């Protein structure tokens, strides 16, 4: 996720925080110190409420890390590569490869909410025990709030709505039942859109009745609807492109340009003779060194930049998505989030064989979506009988 920085690691998994995390934690700390804690433990000094509010917000942040770490560790235990954990305003995201079995997907998805429910139970139990032994109202209030928030987080995440964990659980169950991951993903995405719209309505009704938390629920609901729609689009794309190889999608041969030319010379000698908007660059040895977007060259560079080598304004090959001609196309598209996305450079033995652009994907999708729909109808009929 752009705008995030690494803040540490847990069991070898990098933990990153989006810039929105400090802002949201500050809002939680303020809400605790200004309303929640004074209502339960009145009569204390403002500094006590402020300190307890910050502690509560940090404990909640730690709870989110535990939630995402549960996903990561369960995935690694099942042999699924995990890249990192990113915390942001609406929770967290664990970046990992797609599980290859429905059972693995189910266990990985369910582990996060179960960890939150466990933390919630422990916090509430600690608050009850502390209340029975000592009359420390402020720590009791913080633990009670933390426990209730974790329980709410766990229950909310179990809603059968992609991209929430409950949506992943639903997808895994449908995948196990039908044997078709893409159709299961499409169903989970449809469920996410319906539940997200319902949550948005509930949030709006709560907000107009004076409950400010309804605005936050609306924001979360809109995110769920948007992400669920993206899940459905991806599922439809995967279904249409299933069985195709990278070689079936790539454009070859592909126009290229030398990376040592200055921007001025590149525009005059290379860009002027091509119809493409994106060009791979080759070094002196004929190996790909990066990808340059011609629009960036024509609109962005200043006079000084135009005298620099074009490779200085290109996306280096280390940040590009690389694929082999025989790889499954859907597996490569699933990796796009680890680099800068399209285009995909198709390489074999260190040499450029072709390129896959958004236009290539759209062309294949239009060609194969009718076939996929007919196959899907036949498949559903076979299951029903």
What DSSP string describes 85-112? EEEETTEEEEEEPPPSSHHHHHHHHHHH
Share of the chain above pLDDT 90, in %: 40
pLDDT band at 379, cuts 50/70/90?
very low
Pairing status of strand 257-258 against strand 91-96: unpaired
pLDDT at residue 216 above 90? no
Check residue 202 and give its pLDDT.
94
Q: Rounded mean pLDDT of 229-234? A: 86
pLDDT of residue 136: 86
Label residue 381 by pLDDT band (50, 70, 90).
very low
Annotation marks residue 68 as catalytic: yes
- Superfamily holding 247-364: CBS-domain (3.10.580.10)
Say if residue 304 is exposed, middle or buried (CB neighbours under 10 Å; 0-12, 13-18, 19+): exposed
Residue 372: pLDDT above 60? no
Kindly report, residue by residue over 169-178, the tens digit of the pLDDT. 999 999 999 9
Specify the DSSP class assigned to residue 36: I
Name the residue among 114, 63, 123, 109 with its Cα closest to residue 87.
Answer: 63
The better pLDDT of the pair 165, 312 is held by 165
Q: How do beta strands 278-282 and 257-258 pair?
A: parallel
278-301 mean pLDDT: 82
Q: What is the pLDDT of residues 99-146, one digit of tens each?
A: 889 999 999 999 999 999 999 999 999 999 998 888 788 999 999 999
Whether the per-residue pLDDT at 66 is higher than 70: the answer is: yes
Q: How confident is the model at residue 195 (pLDDT cuts 50, 70, 90)?
A: very high
- Which residues have CB under 8 Å from 331's CB, separation 6+? none
Mean pLDDT for all residues in the chain: 86
pLDDT of residue 376: 46
Pairing status of strand 91-96 against strand 344-348: unpaired
Catalytic residue among 68, 182, 231, 236: 68
Predicted local distance difference test score (pLDDT) of residue 300: 59
Residue 184: predicted pLDDT: 92
pLDDT for the residue 304? 63
For 381-385, the CB contacts below 8 A with 24+ separation are: 383/178
Query: Per mean pLDDT, which range of 108-117, 259-268, 286-295, 337-346 is the poorest?
Result: 337-346
> For 22-34, how does the pLDDT look when each residue is reduced to its tens digit (9 = 90+)?
998 999 999 999 9
Stronger pLDDT, 201 or 351, i.e. the higher one:
201
Q: What does the alpha-carbon distance between residue 347 and residue 341 come to, in Å, rounded to a whole number?
A: 16
Q: Where are the domains of the chain?
A: 4-158, 179-241, 247-364
Q: How large is the average pLDDT for residues 220-244?
A: 87
Judge whether residue 81 has pLDDT over 80.
yes
pLDDT band at 293 (very low <50, low <70, confident <90, very high): confident
Stretch 226-245: mean pLDDT, rounded?
86
Report the pLDDT value the prediction gives residue 199, as an integer from 0 to 100. Answer: 94
Bridge-partner residues for 93, per DSSP?
86
């Amino acid at each position: 996720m752009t705008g995030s920085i690494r803040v540490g690691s847990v069991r070898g998994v990098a933990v990153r925080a989006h810039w929105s995390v400090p802002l949201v934690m500050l809002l939680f700390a303020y809400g605790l110190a200004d309303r929640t804690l004074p209502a339960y433990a009145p009569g204390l000094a403002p500094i006590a409420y402020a300190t307890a509010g910050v502690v509560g917000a940090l404990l909640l942040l730690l709870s989110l890390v535990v939630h995402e770490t549960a996903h990561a560790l369960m995935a690694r235990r099942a042999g699924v590569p995990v890249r990192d954990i990113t915390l942001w305003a609406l929770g967290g995201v664990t970046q990992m490869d797609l599980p290859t079995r429905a059972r693995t997907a189910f266990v990985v998805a369910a582990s996060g909410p179960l960890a939150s429910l466990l933390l919630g139970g422990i916090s509430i139990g600690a608050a009850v025990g502390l209340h029975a032994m000592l009359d420390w109202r402020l720590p009791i209030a913080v633990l009670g709030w933390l426990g209730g928030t974790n329980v709410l987080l766990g229950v909310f995440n179990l809603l059968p709505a992609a991209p929430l964990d409950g949506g992943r659980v639903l997808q895994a169950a449908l995948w196990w039942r039908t044997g078709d991951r893409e159709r299961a993903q499409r169903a989970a995405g449809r469920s996410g859109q319906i539940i997200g719209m319902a949550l948005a309505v509930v949030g709006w009704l709560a907000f107009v009745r004076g409950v400010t938390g309804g605005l936050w629920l609306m924001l979360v609901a809109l995110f769920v609807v948007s992400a669920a729609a993206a899940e459905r689009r991806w599922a439809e794309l995967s279904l249409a492109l299933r069985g195709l190889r990278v070689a079936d999608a790539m454009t070859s041969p592909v126009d290229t340009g030398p990376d040592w030319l200055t921007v001025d010379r590149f525009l005059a000698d290379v860009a002027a003779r091509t119809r493409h908007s994106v060009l791979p660059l080759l070094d002196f040895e004929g190996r790909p060194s990066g990808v340059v977007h011609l629009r960036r060259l024509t609109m962005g560079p200043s006079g000084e930049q135009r005298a620099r080598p074009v490779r200085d304004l290109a996306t280096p090959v280390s940040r590009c998505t690389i694929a082999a001609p025989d790889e499954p196309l859907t597996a490569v598209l699933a990796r796009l989030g680890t680099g800068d996305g399209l285009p995909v450079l198709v390489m074999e033995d260190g040499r450029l064989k072709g390129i896959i652009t958004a236009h290539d994907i759209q062309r294949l999708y239009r060609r194969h979506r009718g076939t996929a729909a007919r196959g899907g109808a036949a498949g559903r009929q076979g299951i029903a009988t």
